[in-house]
Chain A
Amino acid sequence: MTFWSRFRSWCSVTLRRARMESEMDTEFRFHIEAYAEDLMRGGVSREEAMRRARIEFGGIERVKEEGRDARGAFILESFLHDIRFGLRTLRKSPGFMAATVLTLALGVGGNAVVFSLAYNALLRPLPYASPERIVALSETNLQRGISGSRAAAANFYDWKDQGDAFSSMAAFAEWRFNITGTGEPQNVPGALVTADFFTTLGTPALHGRTFRLDEDQPGKEMVVVLSERLWNRLFGASTPFSNQRIIVNQSVMTVVGVMPQTFAFPLRTTEMWVPLSLSTENKANRDGKWLRVIARLKTGTSVTKAQENLHIIARRLEVAYPSSNLGWGATVISLRDSMVRDARPTLWLLLGSVALLLLLACANVSSLISARATGRTGELAVRFSIGATRSRVCRQLITESLLLVALGDALALLVAFWCLHGINTLRLPGFPWAQDVELNFPVLVFTMAISLVVVALIGLVPAIRASSRDAFEVLRRSGETARAVPGARLSRLVVAQISLAFVLMILAGLLTNSFLRLSHVYPGFRVQNVLSANLTLPRSKYQSNRQQVDFFASVIEKIQRTPGVIDAGGVSDLPLLGNRMSFKILFKDGESSGHAGPSGAGVRWVTPNYFHTLGIPLDTGRYFSEGDSVSATPAAIISQSMARSWWPSSNPLGAQFRLEEDSRWFTIVGVVKDIRQESLDSSEPAAVYFPSAQKSEAWLNWMSIVVNTSGKPEELGGTVREAVWSVDREQPITEVSSLETYLGDSVAIPRLRMIAVGSFSLIAFCIVLIGVYATVSYSVAQRVHEIGIRMALGAAPRDVLLQFVSHGLRFTSAGLVIGFLIAVAMARAIASQLFAVRPLDAATYFFVANILGITALLACYLPARRATRVDPMVALRYE
């Protein structure tokens, strides 16, 4: 009953608001008139009676307001009313609205973008069953500086058999398949996987089934699992699932299952999975490291425990198979870590700087609102005096902030959407986590959450302050004072803005400086017009060293004879890709074993033309030639820095050394200039080159071909393939790319950092200028009266100007000092992400402080100059 009547009352109030208002009017009028009539009966004149009746009734608007509240109308009604009113007031100051909404949009939008990235990389649950238990396993060779290497098949099977920390373990390798027989032949990216691949990831099939545990044994019926996309492409989305047969690489395979769209592993593009069926011989291979391995931890087992378990197995294998496994260990990391790798520092940098940007945006909007609220004390005081309660005014002011934030949010999501669209289309190399980034539900929740924080930061304090009862004072004194307090608060906000902007600009300055230095590093070799392609020979076909060397020689010769090719050569590991093989080097000094040379020297096997092709200059001695064949005296070329550190005063030519694994003594025949072997930001201490023709290791069965062309290197890709295939029709070629692409990719992360933090700081710069300008303008406008008096009493315009500019100078320098202290701490934290720039790089600090300081003073000067044009007469009359 009670509830029902309440509900009815609320409904009638909400739905028939107009009627309620007019009924209240009628009721109050009746009351006042009835009372007045009673007074008139007591002999009072009609006019006087009405006046007294009205006074004794009290403020009608206030009674109405309380009446509405009493009827429960306030929730929706007054909120809508506030919004309408807020929109009206905001429309009256479009400059204020544009500045605040844009500032909020950039602050919140930036956070939404960075959070989307971070969420995608660090938080988004991987689409597998209990993904936290899935780990990635890899081989590691500390001596040779190799980590995260693929695993050899025999090692994988040993890990799988002996590892008791894992409930299942699977290996896979990316592979491409040709599907024929269903329409046009197509080349589909897929993977060869062991049978428990799907059970390890814990994803069931959408239709049909995944592999049975024996389906990766040789001799079984050939089966295949397709992605939903591929199924739809081959058979049409409407076709119900059935065990269709398709022809894959010339064999008939039965489709046993279809995986859901969300399942895309190991690559985003993977569309089919075929059992990895290895012959006994292949299963026993410990040299060819080509498998990627994932495993599921047993319940309750930690990654650390699994690592200990795997470590013991690897030691055992080292002892049992020293020829292949000596020096090789194994590493376990969580699947997520294996996907994110070195993204963490970058993400933290971005999160930190974008949070600074948001704080700055809040300080800016807060100062704009404060300035405006102080200008509105008159309006508020009037509202108080006609009966508005304090909480009512507070609610109104907060609604206005809410409105600004809501408008800002709408724009922010638009900004974020476009940025993410841009990031997704960039397909940044080396950023698996920066792909398919989306504005999903968690991002929206995050955005809403920070928006609430923003409302609290920008709306609450000014609202409480402005709605304080002091406003009555303001009305009484007709707005002449009550600005000292907000003035101080405004200055503090401006100081905060300048210091935050300074921090961001310092970070951006350091990162830009660092990137510029990095991209101006000369790698030491020719990058333009060079194409590279990787060839790995199948050991089953090219067993002996001789066969391998001959194959590479004839391929390079073929390429060399192609029109448009200037030079062609080969190297075991391309520079700049972070690959290196290092060996223990022993110098000959009379003893038979020799004494230890540089540890961790990078060793590369090259063809005679390699140095020519990449333009690596000779320092002394000679390059390799065709004469450095397998039958000739073993020769070596060393880098200049190795020569300098080991033969500081003598000539290294003619000296001899050997590798620990190889008993032959190599004679140094030449010294070449240093190049950036591993990456642009690190110089390799020592480098050794051997002629590839003299290699003794049959496991060294790969080579990168480098081709220097007269035209665009990409156009030569086809020619290189033809040349390879004219020697061996079945030889696969991978990673055909120009060296310029590699160079660009190798600095992609520093570039991303620079662009992201750079744009944040640019936004910060603009925001802070708006903030300073608005604050000084406001303070000038508020002091027109005071300026008028001073000028009337004979103050020169210069004095007035100086007053404002010196005020500006005070808060600018305060902001710079505070900013400097924060920036020093922040810069130290990102020191590891800088190249050739110290975190306290004086030039950067000097430059940024000047730019920010001078422009901030300019932003003070412009409104201050307006103050000097105040006409004393006008200013005084204004009062």
Chain B
Amino acid sequence: MDKQLELLQGTLDMLILKAASLGPLHGYGILLRIQQISKDRLEIQQGSLYPALYRLEHQGWITSEWGESENKRKAKFYRLTAAGKRRLQAETENWNSMADVIAGILGTKPEEV
């Protein structure tokens, strides 16, 4: 397993939105999905997921409802709202352009200046 990366400030919300956009998931499922997609390279404090979920729900990006999990237990499932989809899109674009800029700056060689 590669060394785990610490999550950048404010990126957890984006990851949750992305994970939830792939289909309704309970909190543990969201954690698993993020770890699965990132191939376990991100370190996420498990408990910190929930305040983030509540915050997103409070802001109206996601909604929740109680359902039954794969092992027949009562669990709360989170799903992206229309506003959440727009938000995710905006965040993604924002992130990509930011990443481009940063990468461009960091990739600059002395002779290019």
Contacts and interface: CB of A to CB of B under 8 A. Distances in A.
Interface stretch (A66-74, A163-171, A559-567, A794-802): A66-74
A63 B60 contact: no
Interface string B9-33: 0000000000000000011100100
B47 interface: yes
Contact of B54 (A2, A30, A59, A67): A67
B52 interface: yes
A540 interface: no
Interface in B50-108: 50-52, 54-55, 57-60, 69, 71, 73-76, 83
B38 interface: no
B45 A2 contact: no
Specify the main secondary structure of chain A where it touches its partner.
helix
Contact of B51 (A10, A26, A59, A66): A66
B69 A34 contact: yes
A10 to B, nearest CB: 8
Interface string A476-500: 0000000000000000000000000
A71 B59 CA distance: 9
Contacts of B69: 30, 34
A35 interface: yes
A219 interface: no
A27 B73 CA distance: 11
A58 B46 contact: yes
Contacts of B46: 31, 35, 56-58
B83 A27 contact: no
B60 A70 contact: no
A66 B12 CA distance: 15
A63 B52 CA distance: 10
A37 B48 CA distance: 20
Interface string A547-560: 00000000000000
B50 A67 contact: yes
A70 B51 contact: yes
Contact of A67 (B51, B59, B60): B51
Interface residues of B, number: 24
Contacts of B83: 1-2
Nearest to A68: B54
A308 interface: no
B58 A70 contact: yes
A10 B55 CA distance: 11
A9 B75 CA distance: 19
A6 B60 contact: yes
Given A27-B75, A30-B73, A31-B27, A9 B57 contact: yes
Contacts of A714: none
B76 A9 contact: no
A57 B75 contact: no
Interface in A491-524: none
A62 interface: yes
B60 A5 contact: yes
A70 B47 contact: no
B60 A37 contact: no
Contacts of A58: 45-48
Given A6-B59, A37-B71, A30 B48 contact: no
A405 B83 CA distance: 46
A28 interface: yes
Contacts of B71: 34, 37
A814 interface: no
Specify the main secondary structure of chain B where it touches its partner.
helix
Nearest to B73: A30
B74 A26 contact: yes
Contacts of A10: 58
Contacts of A57: 46-47
B76 A27 contact: yes
Of A10, A63, A71, the most chain B CB neighbours within 10 A belong to A63
A30 B71 CA distance: 11
Contact of A70 (B26, B52, B76): B52
A28 B48 CA distance: 11
A4 B58 CA distance: 10
Contacts of B55: 70-71
A27 B47 CA distance: 11
B68 to A, nearest CB: 11
Contacts of B50: 24, 27-28, 63, 66-67
A60 interface: yes
A63 B27 contact: no
Contact of A62 (B47, B57, B73, B76): B47
Contact of A63 (B26, B28, B51, B58): B51
Contacts of B58: 5-6, 9-10, 70-72
A23 interface: yes
A839 to B, nearest CB: 64
A34 to B, nearest CB: 5
A70 B71 CA distance: 29
Given A34-B28, A35-B28, A70-B52, A63 B57 contact: no
A1 B47 contact: no
Contacts of A62: 47
A63 B69 CA distance: 22
Contacts of B45: 58
Contacts of A30: 26-28, 69, 73-76
B59 A2 contact: yes
Contacts of B75: 27, 30, 34
B58 to A, nearest CB: 5
B77 to A, nearest CB: 11
A528 B54 CA distance: 84
Of B58, B59, B73, B76, the most chain A CB neighbours within 10 A belong to B58
Contacts of A6: 58-60
Interface in A1-54: 1-2, 4-6, 9-10, 23-24, 26-28, 30-31, 33-35, 37
Interface of A: 1-2, 4-6, 9-10, 23-24, 26-28, 30-31, 33-35, 37, 56-60, 62-63, 66-67, 69-72
26 contacts: A6-B58, A6-B60, A9-B57, A10-B58, A26-B74, A27-B27, A28-B50, A30-B73, A31-B27, A31-B31, A34-B71, A34-B75, A35-B46, A37-B71, A57-B46, A58-B45, A58-B46, A60-B47, A62-B47, A63-B47, A63-B48, A66-B48, A69-B51, A70-B51, A70-B55, A71-B58
Given A2-B83, A67-B50, 12 more contacts: A4-B60, A5-B59, A27-B75, A30-B69, A30-B73, A30-B75, A31-B28, A34-B69, A58-B48, A63-B51, A67-B54, A71-B57
When A and B form their complex, which 9 residue pairs have the shortest distance between CB atoms, in order from nearest? A58-B47, A5-B60, A66-B51, A70-B55, A63-B47, A70-B54, A70-B51, A31-B28, A34-B28
Interface of B: 26-28, 31, 45-48, 50-52, 54-55, 57-60, 69, 71, 73-76, 83
